[in-house]
Amino acid sequence: MSAEETIKQTVTANDVVLFMKGTKSMPQCGFSSRVAGVLNFMGVDFADVNVLADEDVRQGIKEYSDWPTIPQLYVKGEFVGGCDIVTEMTLSGELDQLFEKEGVTFDKDAAEKIREANA
């Protein structure tokens, strides 16, 4: 299977996917750590794909999304964004709205705590 086929299968088979450097339990860059930390804190069940483990996937995800950086968050097969976008969406409440619209389970109180801590 090509990298593009692997990526497509991964984003369609999982409600929430984070392509990141490292894993959700051991991120290997600050940006990946921030996004994984937000998702973990909010109790989101997500698949993590360590792009450092496969150079074809690392390059392929950038082409797949037409987005140059890692991490990349996908919800229900759709590209959401990278670290800055996910951070902004979390702080504005847009990420909550997206999860609610797409039927993704998350802890609303935890999301509110993130906003309170960053107010």
Pairing of strands 78-81, 72-75: antiparallel
- Cβ neighbours of residue 78 under 8 Å, at least 6 residues apart? none
| Residues 82, 28 contacting (CB under 8 angstroms) | no
- Compute how many other C-beta atoms are within 10 angstroms of the C-beta atom of residue 69: 13
Tell me whether residue 83 is annotated as binding: no
Binding residues for [2Fe-2S] cluster are 29
Binding residues are 29
